[in-house]
Structure 1
């Protein structure tokens, strides 16, 4: 089974438990924490290594996570290790976060601007994205001067590119295609016409 499908299945299972227990926020923090712990090189090596006894892996996980996560989240971590899916945990965390966002009718917008946005500008961008997507937008901003101006927003798989860099690129492409089209219209007679001088 593909990594994405496995991640989705586990994320859906833990989400349903969290929804029933009214622990969605805490479970989201836990799942992110587990993914981060599994990203630790030395611990990840221990958890992946087939020669390490299962009991030792479980003990290491309990010592690392027991006082930091809910019992259901700890059980998820133990199950992931038992089924040798340590590498899938970051995908599970991503899928779980997407489920939480969908449940709340929210979407994360990764917004790139050439300069830092102030509060009023952020509010305008947020409102525009909410109107476009129909979701409550959570903005994550970053600055990239190479876009020259305007805004580039990524909401899920959708990219909205209102940057000056993109507008210049589109204009350049239009000019090139117009020049190419007019070049195709030229005939040998066009070259025999006298050129007007100014």
Structure 2
């Protein structure tokens, strides 16, 4: 997986640079999200990995599927990836693009797993606490996970904050062994 991320980095950087030049980061986010969704489909994956499908025909089919959902620059980028046999990198490119965008705009995407739903007030307080701890504005994506038993698990970039009861029990088990 880290190899894919390494291969995706120059593409993500180039796209981000172009998006900044044209003040179109939001449009590029949409383009990359759509292209990634298309490439994640089983049908498209089967086509891309089928050696019997010629590159020209594959390019035609992929562009037909994306027609109307991506702009001209997005289509050109897709052609470049097809030419270089790099379509498999699209999810990593999209992820790295969003990380670059978040860094540039001064926020961080935070995934929060919680055993119980937050009230609106509790979610706002928790977001404020995270903003103070991370020194950035946070965009929280909250997901319920009953397996945590209680507490929260926070993923912010490469940082993980495990405040769950499940995590505490695992730590206790390790300490006792």
Asked whether the two chains share a fold, i.e. TM above 0.5, the reply is yes
Name the larger-Rg structure.
1
Q: In structure 1, what is the Cα distance between the partners aligned to 2:172 and 2:47?
A: 54
Q: 1:111 to 1:54 in 2, by over 3 A?
A: same
Query: What TM-score, normalized to structure 1?
Result: 0.80
Report deviation, 1:144. 1.8
Report deviation, 1:173. 5.7
Q: Does 1:121 align with 2:129?
A: no
1:108-155 CA-to-partner distances (Å, cap 9, x unmatched) read 111111111111111111111111111110111111223222222111
Map residues 74-113 of structure 1 onto 2, 5 A cutoff: 74-113=75-114
Q: In structure 2, what is the Cα distance between the partners aligned to 1:128 and 1:100?
A: 23
CA contact (8 A) 1:44 1:86 kept: no
Q: CA RMSD in A?
A: 2.0
Query: What TM-score, normalized to structure 2?
Result: 0.89
Q: 1:39 to 1:172 in 2, by over 3 A?
A: closer
Q: Which moved more, 1:145-154 or 1:19-28?
A: 145-154
Detail structure 1 runs of 4+ shifted over 4 Å in the superposition: 168-174
Question: Hey, what does 2:151 align to over in structure 1?
Answer: 150
Q: 1:58 to 1:165 in 2, by over 3 A?
A: closer
Report deviation, 1:170. 4.4
